């Protein structure tokens, strides 16, 4: 089976490499030449456009920042749709608005092409490990065809419903992750400024009800003051914007999501849009004028 991969960013590049390690023949495209060359060195072929990727592949995977990028890459001039024919499959693993996924799928269906929307969770570390959580929307038969490929990228692959259900599930995930990081940040700054070592607090509570995968991933980064991005603030802002828009569309108020969105917007204005989302702690630290860091 020949696979095409478009979008070799923080997440896409390690995902593409994992497909190569699994033995798949891979054709890749990205507008930035550096990551393309790195993946080509690992065994992939380079293409000059999304259309060329599609022409050479049975399954085409896109991993792009947001809805407009996916629409342009798939439906735009020189895009994937121009190189696809009936029988080929598009798997969009970007995190986009559910309605955008449905719109792209409808255009593909006009040519007899199937699509899955399959956003992921786990950040760069799990992309590297191939242990992402993958939330999928689409037909059961298409899911079954693509499952062996997706299992090379994730340790959890779940069909959530029809097209758009994958991204709706991802929005729910992103709400929970954002609010967990905000709660963790608030608690760590409270502990630190109260004179209690925040690392000790983390060790004391991580095994109880407050413990979570989010805490175990982000508390060590907060304690070390390490905000190198695994998942950037600006991307989480994008996801929360999609969540709020979807909430408005279906009539679901999202007051906590809106609050943490404004925290992230404040960090963006403060020049931290490229930081990891664990830097939410810096919002609290600035207000409290106190840092929550591991004791030297």
Q: Tell me: pLDDT of 296 over 90.
A: no
Residue 296 belongs to a domain: no
Question: Which residue, of 135, 162, 189, is where some domain finishes?
Answer: 162
- Asked if residue 94 lies in contact with residue 68, where contact means CB atoms within 8 angstroms, the answer is no
Of all residues in the chain, the percent with pLDDT exceeding 90 is 97
Does 148 lie in the same domain as 25? yes
Is residue 221 one of the residues assigned to a domain?
yes
Residues 6+ apart with CB under 8 A from 134: 93, 118, 119, 120, 150, 153, 154, 156, 157, 158
Same domain, 116 and 45: yes
CATH number, position 132: 3.40.50.720
22 and 104 share one domain: yes
Find the catalytic residue in 17, 88, 126, 170.
170
- 48 and 69, same structural domain? yes
Q: What is the pTM of this model?
A: 0.91
Shared domain check, 182 and 147:
no
All residues at 6 or more sequence positions from 37 whose CB lies less than 8 Å from its CB, including other chains: 46
What's the whole-number mean pLDDT along residues 279-296? 95
Query: Which pLDDT band, with edges at 50, 70 and 90, does 15 fall under?
Result: very high
| 293 belongs to a structural domain | no
CATH number for 229: 1.10.1040.10
Residue 32: CB atoms within 10 Å = 11
Helix, strand or coil for residue 175? helix
Strands 2-6 and 25-29: parallel
pLDDT in the model for residue 295: 82
Give 1-34 as a DSSP string.
-EEEEE--STTHHHHHHHHHHTT-EEEEE-SSHH
170 tagged catalytic: yes
The pLDDT score that the predictor gives to residue 230 is: 84
* pLDDT tens-place string over residues 145-199: 999 999 999 999 999 999 999 999 999 999 999 999 999 999 999 999 999 999 9
Burial of 170: CB neighbours in 10 Å, binned 0-12, 13-18, 19+: buried
Quote the pLDDT of residue 145.
98
| pLDDT digits 0-9 by tens, 105-135 | 999 999 999 999 999 998 888 999 999 999 9
Tell which residue, 120, 125, 54, has the closest CA to residue 90: 54
Count of domains observed in the chain:
2
Q: What is the pLDDT of residues 213-264, one digit of tens each?
A: 999 999 999 999 999 998 899 999 999 999 999 999 999 999 999 999 999 9
Residue span of the structural domain in which 273 resides:
168-288
């Amino acid at each position: 089976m020949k696979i095409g991969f478009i979008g070799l960013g923080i997440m896409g590049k390690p995902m593409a490499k994992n497909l190569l390690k699994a033995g798949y023949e891979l054709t890749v495209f990205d507008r930035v030449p550096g990551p393309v060359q790195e993946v080509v060195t690992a065994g992939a072929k380079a293409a000059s456009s999304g259309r060329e990727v599609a022409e050479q592949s049975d399954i085409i995977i896109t991993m792009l920042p947001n809805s407009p990028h996916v629409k342009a890459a798939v439906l735009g001039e020189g895009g994937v749709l121009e190189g696809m024919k009936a029988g080929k499959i598009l798997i969009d693993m970007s995190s986009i608005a559910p309605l955008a996924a449905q719109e792209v799928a409808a255009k593909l269906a006009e040519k007899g092409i199937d699509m899955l929307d399959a956003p992921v969770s786990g950040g760069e570390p799990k992309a590297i490990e191939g242990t992402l959580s993958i939330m999928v929307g689409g037909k059961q038969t298409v899911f079954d065809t693509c499952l062996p490929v997706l299992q090379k990228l994730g340790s959890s692959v779940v069909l959530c419903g029809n097209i758009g259900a994958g991204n709706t599930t991802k929005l729910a995930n992103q709400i929970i992750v954002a609010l967990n990081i905000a709660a963790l940040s608030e608690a760590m700054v409270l502990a630190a400024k109260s004179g209690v070592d925040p690392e000790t607090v983390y060790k004391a509570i991580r095994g109880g009800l407050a413990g979570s995968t989010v805490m175990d991933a982000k508390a060590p980064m907060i304690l070390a003051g390490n905000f190198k991005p695994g998942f950037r603030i600006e991307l989480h802002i994008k996801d929360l914007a999609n969540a709020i828009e979807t909430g408005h569309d279906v009539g679901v108020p999202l007051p906590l999501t809106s609050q943490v969105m404004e925290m992230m917007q404040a960090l963006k204005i403060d020049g931290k849009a490229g930081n990891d989302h664990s830097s939410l702690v810096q919002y609290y630290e600035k207000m409290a004028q106190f840092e929550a860091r591991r004791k030297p």
